[in-house]
Structure 1
Amino acid sequence: MPKDFRATTLERAIGRQLAAWRDERELSLSEAGQRVGFSSAKLSMMENAVQPSAPVDVMALGYVYKVPTPEWQAVVLRAQHAARVRTSTLNNALHLDPAADFANLVFEASRLRAFTTDLVPTVLQTPQYTNAVMHHDDPVRSARLATVREAWATRPNGKDPLVVEAVFSESVLRRVVGGPRAMKAQLLHLMEISEHPTVSVQVLPHSTGAYPAMGSPFTLLDFPHRQHNDVAYLETFIKAEYVEDPVLTEQCAQRFTSLQQLALDPGESLELIAEAAAEPWWTGMRRDSPTTGC
């Protein structure tokens, strides 16, 4: 067992299942260990997920406990998957950091669909807005966001322009990020960029109520080569993740389509953004008012 072993939630669930099998048969750790040929210490560590449960050991316990075959086979499959996930996670951590790599995908993509709940999508942010968002965050992550924005900035008028479709909540327009002046500049930038032929900006008005993917922002990237699958990008302040399973990316695409259908159309969205930018409170806000959404 690796010295730095930390059980995943799946491995902990497997351990609980092993303990439940033993409890159902009213066996002590010692009695169960003798039957299967394990020490009571090893069995205890498996049940408490202090060490991984090897698929062959799960199989042995299922056989000794006389668990119905489909039931123990299902747990063996979970143990096999847990082992693969552990190896894959370690390998991915060594070879690829999605947050660091994301700008490269933006540069290679043919279409970017972004759904956000609290902030203007990264590719549509002004530098001042991005700086305000990241003011209290990791400076490395801040630099990465700037790189993503710059990757798109080279694309609108190029030979292979990147199509951007953005949907976000109306609350994004009312959240004063970076202070009144910076926020008004951001709204004016949205108005300007939304008129570009390769950009679609849609706003979900407050009247929409509940909507698909509520509270779950994501970015979906399409690529020009058929050998390259769509990729969904998810990010929190803790970590970033690529989702490449076609079934899951299709779910993202379906939700994005539903969001577009619920949102105001681009023309109506532009009018709402213009109304927000023209509101007099941008200039009348007190100096000590909140300046970021962080």
Structure 2
Amino acid sequence: MPKDFRATTLERAIGRQLAGWRNERELSLTEAGQRVGFSSAKLSMMENAVQPSSPVDVMALGYVYKVPTPEWQAVVLRAQHAEQVRTRALGTALNFDPAADFVNLVFEATLLRVFTTDLVPAVFQLPGYTNAAMQADDPVRIARFAMAREAWSSRLKDKDPLIVQAVFPEAVLRQVVGGPRVMKAQLLHLMEVSEHPTVSVRVVPRGAGAYPAMGSPFTLLGFPHRQHNDVAYLETFVKGEYVEEPGLVEQCAQRFAGSRQLALDTGESLELIAEAAAEL
């Protein structure tokens, strides 16, 4: 394994697939390793994307686990592509949808920095707000927002809970999504979640003028493993996209920090949210 190995999101998705195959067969790492001829340490590192999963190793696991041929062949193709990306810096990952994968990274992350421009962050949205915002015509995206919300709430009682830092402009509070009743419930919920010790909600007031991330919503995800770099996630109604190039991720981090600095502090932000709710 290269000393400076950093797993891509595709390689991490492959690792989760390998772990899923093993868990479906109720095999321990030791049992599975003995069957395929790997050490349990190697298998663990493959599943956790601490080392790359070579196509031949994926093929061997698919065969030993008796995975249906089309299924293991698809994962082998992804492993081949991941290998090519690593060695030749090729383009977008094959058969890999970041929008569908995003919730997995929310489960794995330790820090979520969310900047939105016109919506309450997905992890804090109530179902009624999400349905109204998506106009109920995008059931797949609605389901993904719900999964992101559930992923965050499930992490609240973890020994290592997910820290969420959210920043958004005041316009998010004033846009009455779903009507006054739905919007008021959403704002009250936002006030409630902001009381959690692992949550920071800060609002950029209208009077602040332009701010560094204006017009460009994104989410930054930070992880506990040294091999897993920070990732930026961008999403439109068309598709989701990961940004993994360190220089570009750092640009996002700087813009987030700049916008957060211009925002009201958490106490003042809470007061502004309460004021917007009272007006509905």
Q: Supply the distance in 2 between the matched residues of 1:166 and 1:213 (Cα, whole angstroms).
A: 13
Q: Supply the distance in 2 between the matched residues of 1:209 and 1:106 (Cα, whole angstroms).
A: 31
Residue in 2 that maps onto 1:144: 144
Q: Deviations over 1:32-75 (max 9, x none)?
A: xxxxxxxxxxxxxxxxxxxxxxxxxxxxxxxxxxxxxxxxxxxx
- Structure 1 residue 160: deviation in Å? 1.4
TM-score, reference length from structure 2 = 0.67
- Structure 1 residue 251: deviation in Å? 0.9
Q: Supply the distance in 2 between the matched residues of 1:103 and 1:197 (Cα, whole angstroms).
A: 22
Which 5+ residue runs of structure 2 have no aligned equivalent?
1-87
- Structure 1 residue 207: deviation in Å? 0.2
Q: Supply the distance in 2 between the matched residues of 1:137 and 1:208 (Cα, whole angstroms).
A: 35
Distance 1:145 1:93, change over 3 A: farther
Q: Supply the distance in 2 between the matched residues of 1:203 and 1:216 (Cα, whole angstroms).
A: 16
Distance 1:205 1:156, change over 3 A: same
Q: Supply the distance in 2 between the matched residues of 1:207 and 1:259 (Cα, whole angstroms).
A: 13
Q: Supply the distance in 2 between the matched residues of 1:123 and 1:170 (Cα, whole angstroms).
A: 18
SS of 1:88's equivalent? coil
Letter of the 1:193 partner, please give it: V
- Structure 1 residue 153: deviation in Å? 1.0
Which 5+ residue runs of structure 1 have no aligned equivalent?
1-83, 283-294
Q: Supply the distance in 2 between the matched residues of 1:159 and 1:132 (Cα, whole angstroms).
A: 34
Residue in 1 that maps onto 2:206: 206
Residue in 1 that maps onto 2:158: 158
Which of structures 1 and 2 has the bigger CA Rg? 1
Aligned residue pairs total: 194
- Structure 1 residue 121: deviation in Å? 0.4
Q: Deviations over 1:80-137 (max 9, x none)?
A: xxxx78x523xx142x100000000001000000000100000111111111112244
Letter of the 2:165 partner, please give it: E
CA-atom RMSD in angstroms? 1.5
SS of 1:158's equivalent? coil
Residue in 1 that maps onto 2:31: none
SS of 1:233's equivalent? strand
Residue in 2 that maps onto 1:194: 194
Residue in 2 that maps onto 1:8: none
Q: Deviations over 1:203-235 (max 9, x none)?
A: 000001111121000000000111100000001
Q: Supply the distance in 2 between the matched residues of 1:202 and 1:248 (Cα, whole angstroms).
A: 24
Q: Deviations over 1:240-282 (max 9, x none)?
A: 1000111111111111111111000000000000111111xx2
Tell me if 1:88 matches 2:91.
Answer: yes
- Structure 1 residue 181: deviation in Å? 0.7
Q: Supply the distance in 1 between the matched residues of 2:257 and 2:240 (Cα, whole angstroms).
A: 23
Tell me if 1:271 matches 2:267.
Answer: no
Residue in 1 that maps onto 2:257: 257
Letter of the 2:264 partner, please give it: L
Residue in 1 that maps onto 2:178: 178
Letter of the 1:88 partner, please give it: G
SS of 2:91's equivalent? helix
Letter of the 2:91 partner, please give it: S
Letter of the 1:257 partner, please give it: A
Q: Supply the distance in 2 between the matched residues of 1:122 and 1:268 (Cα, whole angstroms).
A: 22
SS of 1:216's equivalent? coil
Distance 1:243 1:101, change over 3 A: same
Q: Supply the distance in 1 between the matched residues of 2:109 and 2:163 (Cα, whole angstroms).
A: 9
Q: Supply the distance in 2 between the matched residues of 1:153 and 1:197 (Cα, whole angstroms).
A: 13
TM-score, reference length from structure 1 = 0.64
Tell me if 1:238 matches 2:238.
Answer: yes
SS of 1:242's equivalent? strand
Residue in 2 that maps onto 1:130: 130
